[in-house]
Structure 1
Amino acid sequence: MHLVLIETAGNQQYIFASNRLRENVGASELTYRAGTEYVLQAVAAAGGPSLWSDDQEKVRAELLDADRNPPLADGQDGIEVVLAASGKAMLLASDAGRARSIISRVTRRALEEAPGLDVRGFVSDSFELGSHELHRVVQDAHRGLEGLRGMLPGPQERFLRLPVVEPCATSGLPASELVRVPNESSSEACSLVSYSKRRAAEEGLRRMRQAAGEHRLPYSADALEHELECDWLAVVHADGNGLGEVFLNFERYVRAAAGGDQQARNRAYIDTLRRFSLALDRCTEQAFCSALAKMVPTRKQRQASKNGAQPVLPILPLVLGGDDLTVLCDGEQALPFTHAFLQRFCELAAAREIQEVLSCGQPGARLTASAGVAIIKPHDPFFTAYDLAEALLRNAKRAKPAAAIDCHVVFDASGPDLNRVRRQLRVDGGRTVLTARPYVLGTADGRYANRRVADLEGWIQALRRDGGDGESIPRSVLHDLRHSLFLGHQQADARFKLLLPRHRALRSLAHGSEDSVSLFWSEAGDAPDALRYTGLLDALELAPFWRNG
């Protein structure tokens, strides 16, 4: 038999190549179809099982059903679908000719319906489940696929500029036709790549609404900015922690449980990989649906719903699958939503289907996720916000294996360079850091002992009230404290001690003993090179964006 590996490459670049939300949603949908609909329909056309359905849950159930997706044994004729997920599929085929025909159908359809999407396929050498280690076959297939990509030109080579043609208004690629601008009477030049993404957007939104269950999502990609009237928008990018290492060494998570001969271990590998991947999909979707309960309609939507219609939530999923989540939402609700998503993801990941696999390879291991949240004004370029959210996610993952959130609010148009921004938040020659981000969920010790989401919530609530008579702390006082931070830790602590007796709510921001109260704490005690941190600036900046906190 042969292993068939089909994957898309450059997904983020393809999905976020334009600043038009409609194209982002459509590109995400086309990436999803390439690994699911295109593959499963090609399998059926090649004589394999017919498993495709518009209902995602039905597809998952049939993939797990041994009657609908029968296991393929050595010497047996047929096709078995191991994986069929967004942007990736893995199959077992009885002969190389049938395997190549599947790849041919998938790549040809991608060229026709999703031009610009990089889809490649690889067929392994012949092997037997009874005598070869399947994980090594999978590794060889991945290496072969990477080698194939290095030999072939990328999708950008399909759209040459000779003869000279007008550029697409959104992608810069050669335009192929004129299309009407939504809500306007004018037309604009549009490339075939952008046009295919726009056509797929409505189906993508339908699939996302299906995943949202009873919650009502926007019916168009333009509604979030123009119809829901959000003062701030946020890009939330979340991803599981350490899953790349799990898939890279997946045989460690199977062999101990399988035992038996080579064929039994390989069959356990196939079944475990399939169940684990589908469980991850469900985990992410269910966590997303659960976190939607934290979202509330905007004021305009609440007024529009007085006639009895269910209000639309100000959130638009762009990527939802595997352990990945990317959404665009109301910036003032992004942090509570993200917190709820990560909490629920960690809870669902502790379920038997996922936890049994992790415990087999690494006893006591827990699957967590981290997120980056970039909050911008609606007129700011979306693609820069996504780049910032990705940088924030990388920073949040420094706290793994703990789940963590890092966030940034873009108040100006100077360019959201995260490294530059964070360098500017260091004083006292770099010894004092005026931000404690990222913040971790749950309990924490060591480096993150004072950097929990619960700590941040407590500081925000303290700034919203005065512990004595319930009145809020005057803005002038908070401005004074903020200014003092940039003068160094000694000046900030001196000002803090003067204000503390009059505003007892500030005590929740205090660290140290009664005799040496301070706005700062050190992660390395009294060590000469210890850095000092404070959460005051984070609380001041993020308080308007934690309405449900």
Structure 2
Amino acid sequence: MNQYCAVLIDVVSIQKYIFSSNELRDNLGASHIVKTLFDDLPVSALAQACNLKETEVQKIIAQWRENPAKIMLDDDPSLPFEIGVFSGGKALILFRKKNEANEFVKKFTKELLLKAPGMQLAVAIMEGFSPNQNFPEQIAELYAQMMNNRNRYFPVTTLPAHSITAANSEGETISTHYNTDEGKYIDYKTAAKQAAGKEAQSILKRDYAELLEGYSFPTRVDRLGQKEGDSYTAIVHLDGNGMGNWFQQSTSLADYRLRSINMVRITEQSFRRLIAEVVKMIDKLKDVPGFEIKDNLPLRPLILGGDDLTFICHGKLGLFLAERFINIWTKTANRELDSLPDKGFSACAGVAIAKTKYPFYRTYQIVEELCTLAKECHREEGGSWLDFYIISGTKSGSVQSIREAEDKDHDYQMYFGPYVLDNPEHEKSINRLLDGLNYFNNDSEHWTNPHLKELRASFYAGPEFLKTFLIDMAARGGQLPEHARIAYQMRGYGDGKTPYPDMIDIMEFYPRVLLERRESIAKVTN
């Protein structure tokens, strides 16, 4: 049984590194650095640590994707290392000698200070690692060691400043790079991200050229097809459920590699399909209030790797695209992969909608919390879930604390979600939410915009005001949409919950053309 020294590397707090700036171009550059971190950057460190030429290292690196079932260290005793997996900010590398593994970690982390300043890594090293025997136990032990190291060591990953050098606007790092476009000095972390951002834009345009039909991916938050005076942006964060456990169930290194390769392929394939569908809808979207699409697509990816996806889009597309991507991704993964979780693949999403000028980093913090809240529902009931929040500049704190504060002032919860995507009979099914929205849209005789605003105000005013308003509406022939419980329709709430404020809140952010598109997709898939 051949045994080697395994090195597991993971980027700590990827989202914090990517979204530490309010500038979209910086976020795009940081995302590109993470995505390509193990493509070129380790070459020099591996060459020095293993006494090889860089061309030799590049050939070895390419092999894990080209021949995932082959363990080269077993077949060629002269090789000093091979790649286990490079994917999504993670790397598993096998070395024949421990001293070369240690030397690589030293040189690689040193190089990061210059090429990716501010990025933090967690590292685990294990001797006696076998690629083919007891793999699940070994990989679990590696991950446990890495998590322990992550919580014990907090390395400084930015170079110290001189007292005579100006700090950046956040007071973090020295401003030594002159930005000719802006005519000012910027810090070296931002300079590295902006340089990577230009490369990312070029690669993205090349990779999606056949789908774009002349449109471009925007590099500014306010270039997503919004209209001045009605300008909203949505950030959507999606994450597969239980993916860490699924990867750790791999029976061998070859199995682990294939899972990684296939998951990246399926996620990118699903996003390409989403892009193609958006391009086909653009002509209809141009007629929707709040849209002013010219040369740019109304969405672009921010993080795209493995089972993890974050994208930014026009505020009125966020809910539709989040559900659509999860449906595409789960169906593709469950159809094309052999080793499935017990109940199949599922995913959760958070959708945060805000005025375009709202701080970008704050919006991302909210969307990350929303995805976490959706995952709590998955852990309790299984399935794919979505949580959303429409950000108001007048409220601060976490989404959970804001919702809890609102609930204290009423006899019922004002927010009904999160919503389940793959269980239409559940009372919190997204189908029920959108059916109710459709009902209000179609009954414009009774539910005009002023009536809907009055209905929403009545929910906030309390049960007595709500009762009076519903009696008045019933006398005019206006009824609430049917729902899972008769109490909801009869008096607007039941068991301390009400589903109707959510329907009213999303009317502005779920245009009729998208409801029609969703209905047509359902007819085809059913």
> Shorter chain as normaliser: what TM range?
0.7 to 0.9
| d(CA) in 1 for partners of 2:21, 2:340 | 38
For the 8 Å contact 1:18–1:383, the answer to whether it is kept is yes
2:116 to 114, 117, 122: 114
Counterparts of residues 28-67 of structure 1 (less than 5 Å): 28-39=31-42, 46=50, 50=58, 63-66=64-67
Amino acid at match of 2:355: K
1:370 to 340, 348, 351: 348
For the 8 Å contact 2:239–2:307, the answer to whether it is kept is yes
Q: Aligned-pair distance for 1:408?
A: 0.9
Amino acid at match of 1:397: K
| d(CA) in 2 for partners of 1:493, 1:335 | 31
For the 8 Å contact 1:49–1:69, the answer to whether it is kept is no
**Compared with structure 1, are the counterparts of its residues 270 and 203 closer, same or farther at alpha carbon in structure 2 (3 Å cutoff)?**
same
Name the counterpart of 1:81: 83
Classify the secondary structure of the residue corresponding to 1:197.
helix
| d(CA) in 1 for partners of 2:131, 2:293 | 60
Amino acid at match of 1:31: V
Q: Aligned-pair distance for 1:89?
A: 0.9
Task: Give CA deviations for 1:240-268 in whole Å, capped at 9, x if unaligned.
Answer: 11223334xx2xx35xxxxxxxxxxxxx4
Name the counterpart of 2:430: 453
Classify the secondary structure of the residue corresponding to 1:464.
helix
User: Are 2:415 and 1:435 aligned?
Assistant: yes
Name the counterpart of 1:464: 441
Amino acid at match of 2:451: V
Counterparts of residues 92-491 of structure 1 (less than 5 Å): 92-128=94-130, 133-146=134-147, 148-149=149-150, 152-156=153-157, 158-169=158-169, 172-182=172-182, 187-209=183-205, 212=208, 214-216=210-212, 218-222=216-220, 224-226=221-223, 228-230=225-227, 231-247=231-247, 250=248, 253-254=249-250, 268-292=251-275, 293-294=277-278, 296-297=281-282, 299=286, 311-353=295-337, 356-359=338-341, 362=342, 365-400=343-378, 401-415=382-396, 417-426=398-407, 431-444=411-424, 449-466=426-443, 471=445, 473-489=447-463, 491=465
| d(CA) in 2 for partners of 1:214, 1:511 | 48
Task: Give CA deviations for 1:354-389 in whole Å, capped at 9, x if unaligned.
Answer: xx3235xx4xx2111111111111111001000110
Q: TM-score, normalised by structure 1?
A: 0.79
1:506 to 450, 473, 480: 480
Q: Unpaired runs of 5+ in structure 1?
A: 54-58, 255-267, 306-310, 522-530
Amino acid at match of 2:428: R
Report how many aligned residue pairs link the two structures.
Answer: 490
Classify the secondary structure of the residue corresponding to 1:50.
helix
| d(CA) in 2 for partners of 1:42, 1:69 | 24
| d(CA) in 2 for partners of 1:108, 1:510 | 59
For the 8 Å contact 1:215–1:313, the answer to whether it is kept is no
Q: Aligned-pair distance for 1:193?
A: 0.7
Amino acid at match of 1:442: D
| d(CA) in 2 for partners of 1:103, 1:165 | 31
**Compared with structure 1, are the counterparts of its residues 162 and 332 closer, same or farther at alpha carbon in structure 2 (3 Å cutoff)?**
same
Classify the secondary structure of the residue corresponding to 2:36.
helix
**Compared with structure 1, are the counterparts of its residues 226 and 532 closer, same or farther at alpha carbon in structure 2 (3 Å cutoff)?**
same
Q: Aligned-pair distance for 1:29?
A: 0.9
| d(CA) in 1 for partners of 2:59, 2:12 | 24
Name the counterpart of 2:469: 495
Classify the secondary structure of the residue corresponding to 1:425.
helix
| d(CA) in 1 for partners of 2:313, 2:487 | 41
Task: Give CA deviations for 1:93-129 in whole Å, capped at 9, x if unaligned.
Answer: 2223443454345334322211111235443224455
Amino acid at match of 1:173: T
**Compared with structure 1, are the counterparts of its residues 27 and 119 closer, same or farther at alpha carbon in structure 2 (3 Å cutoff)?**
same
Q: Aligned-pair distance for 1:454?
A: 1.0
Task: Give CA deviations for 1:216-253 in whole Å, capped at 9, x if unaligned.
Answer: 3645522x415744510111111111223334xx2xx3
Question: Percent identity, aligned pairs only?
Answer: 21
| d(CA) in 1 for partners of 2:453, 2:316 | 21
| d(CA) in 2 for partners of 1:44, 1:80 | 12
1:520 to 481, 489, 493: 493
For the 8 Å contact 1:235–1:374, the answer to whether it is kept is yes
User: Are 2:16 and 1:16 aligned?
Assistant: no
| d(CA) in 2 for partners of 1:417, 1:376 | 15
For the 8 Å contact 2:446–2:477, the answer to whether it is kept is no
For the 8 Å contact 1:388–1:418, the answer to whether it is kept is yes
| d(CA) in 1 for partners of 2:274, 2:33 | 25
Name the counterpart of 2:523: none
Q: Aligned-pair distance for 1:500?
A: 3.4
Q: Let me know the Cα RMSD of the aligned residues.
A: 3.3
**Compared with structure 1, are the counterparts of its residues 396 and 213 closer, same or farther at alpha carbon in structure 2 (3 Å cutoff)?**
farther
Q: Aligned-pair distance for 1:177?
A: 2.8
**Compared with structure 1, are the counterparts of its residues 518 and 16 closer, same or farther at alpha carbon in structure 2 (3 Å cutoff)?**
same
Classify the secondary structure of the residue corresponding to 2:345.
coil
Classify the secondary structure of the residue corresponding to 1:351.
helix
